[in-house]
Structures are given as structure tokens and as C-alpha cells.
Structure 1
Amino acid sequence: MDLYDGTTDPRHHLSNFKSRMYVADAFDVTHCKAFLTILTKAVMKWFDNLPPRSVTCFDNLARKFLTRFSTQKNKVKHASSLLEVKQEAEETLSNYMEIFNKTCLEIQNLPTEAVIMGLVNGLKGRAILSIYNQATPDFLK
């Protein structure tokens, strides 16, 4: 597991850690001790500055951790985010599709209509014709 450096979503990091501890069937005190081993030195400074005896259990430590690093949480993306993904002038269709698909994965409950609209909106002209020609039977052209 990667060390937490304070720059990414703390909820994601905490969730990964809890999953590993669940599989290990670890005790609460083990959670607390093990959690400290996956923090970078910079984040450990935060922990070292907590008042003595202020952490009473892992849930307490997790709340303090989330409170301190909550500004780093991932921004929620919405369907309108797809309209910002544009194929660059010299960008290949496959590269654009890779970026577009990654963006789609970051959006929860994404309607199919929004995917289609975002995809067509972001394609440069030649790519739209290429997709149309590949997807349309000859008798409809």
C-alpha cells in the first residue's frame, strides 16, 4: 500500500487501509499502530502534534485524520465534466477515447445520453465522420 502524503483523497486511503485490516482480522490497537506505518514523514508530523492521549481508538484516529486532510478529497464530477474533454488537433482517436473513458469512470450514475453527447461534443470533425462511416451500414450511407 502506498504511503499517504497528504495530497490525495484521505477517504480513499482510509478505505484501502480498513480493507486490509479487515482481511487481517486485526484488533483495534493494531489498526492504530499499523496506520502510522503508512504515513509519510510530513503526515507523521501531524500525528506527532496531536495532544497526548487524544486518540482513544482507531475510529477516533480515523475521524481526526479525515478532518485534518479533508481538503484533499476528490472533487465530485458530474456528467457536465464530459463536455470539457476535447480531442486535440493532433490527438489520435484512441488516445482521446482513453481519456474520455477514464473521465466517464469518475462520474457516478452517468446517463448513457450524457456519454453520447459528451463523446460527440469532444470529437474533432474528422473523427466524427470516421466513427459514422464505421458504424453505419453501407445501404444507409
Structure 2
Amino acid sequence: MDQANSTPFTTEIEQAVPPKRFSTPSFRHLKGDSNPKSHLKHFKSVMILYKVDNALMCKVFTMTLGGVAQDWFRTLPFGSISNFKKLAYVFTKECTTYRTIKKNPYYLYNLHKKSDESLRDYIKRFKAEKANIVGYND
């Protein structure tokens, strides 16, 4: 049970208390196909007033992680993260490997309707794939 409650932060970060009147800003949550560097830049820009508070940056950053990224965070060894700079480095290094490869418009030529798929479902799938392609033009 103790392992389930342990975090990779040092005791100093764990015991740090947030400033008075601090309310957690709203963030975009990291998705599996998101760019970890963009996510980190967004987080830093929202937290710009609190950059000097290392413990707060660490604790709040973990709330922006979801899915695979949150699972990864929980696998870090206890006490291995002592500051935000190290957390940011480990995060970008690890989560870059989970990112999906960007597709180009030619990828759409390889999409075919499955035999058990309705035309409506195929069109939905096609549009969803098209929306994921950067630089697509009709």
C-alpha cells in the first residue's frame, strides 16, 4: 500500500506547501499523440508566475498527465525527481517515444473500407484520419 502512495519526488518536494491563495489553473491534458515538448511549453507558459517554486511546478505538472504518461510517471523510482528541470528532461525524453508518427496526405490513399464496415463508419474514420494530418488541403 505504501508503494501505491509513493511518488518519484524527493521528500523536500513532497512536503512543500503551495502558496496561499494558489488555485490550480486549467491545462490541456497530455494525450497519447500529443507533442511532449509542446505540452511542456504550454505548461510553462501557464505557470510562468510560479517558475521559481520548484516543488509547485513538479506537483502541478503531474496533474496534466493522463493515460500512458500518467502510467509512466508512476513507474519512476521513489525520490528520483528533485527538481522541475529534471522532471521536464525525463518527461520529454521518455514521452517522445510514445508519440505517434505524423502522417502525410498520401496516407489517405491506403485507407480502405473494411468488409464489415458501413459506408457511414468508413467516412467517419476517413474524416478522423484526415483531421490528424498536418498540412492537408482539399
Q: For residue 61 of structure 1, what is the aligned residue in structure 2?
A: 87
* Residue 43 in structure 1 maps to residue 73 in structure 2: yes
Match of 1:33 among 32, 49, 59: 59
Superposed displacement of residue 111, structure 1: 3.2
Superposed displacement of residue 18, structure 1: 3.4
User: How many residue pairs were aligned?
Assistant: 105
* Identity, % of aligned positions: 16
Q: For residue 77 of structure 1, what is the aligned residue in structure 2?
A: 103
Deviations 1:64-100 (A, max 9, x none): 2111222101211011210221112343221111000
Question: 1:10 & 1:94 partners in 2: Cα distance?
Answer: 28
TM-score by length of 2: 0.55
Question: 1:15 & 1:37 partners in 2: Cα distance?
Answer: 12
Q: Higher helix fraction: Structure 1 or Structure 2?
A: 1
Gaps of 5+ in 1: 113-141
Pairing 1:1-141 to 2, within 5 Å after superposition: 8-9=32-33, 11=35, 15=39, 18=42, 22=46, 26-28=49-51, 29=53, 30-38=56-64, 40=70, 42-46=72-76, 48=78, 50=80, 53=82, 55=83, 58-112=84-138
Could you say if the C-alpha distance between residues 26 and 77 of structure 1 is closer, same or farther in structure 2, counting changes exceeding 3 Å? Answer: same
Superposed displacement of residue 13, structure 1: 9.0
Gaps of 5+ in 2: 1-26
Could you say if the C-alpha distance between residues 99 and 86 of structure 1 is closer, same or farther in structure 2, counting changes exceeding 3 Å? Answer: same
Considering only aligned residues, what root-mean-square deviation do their CA atoms show, in Å? Answer: 3.6
Question: 1:37 & 1:111 partners in 2: Cα distance?
Answer: 36
TM-score by length of 1: 0.54
Who wins on radius of gyration, i.e. which is larger?
1
Could you say if the C-alpha distance between residues 37 and 79 of structure 1 is closer, same or farther in structure 2, counting changes exceeding 3 Å? Answer: closer
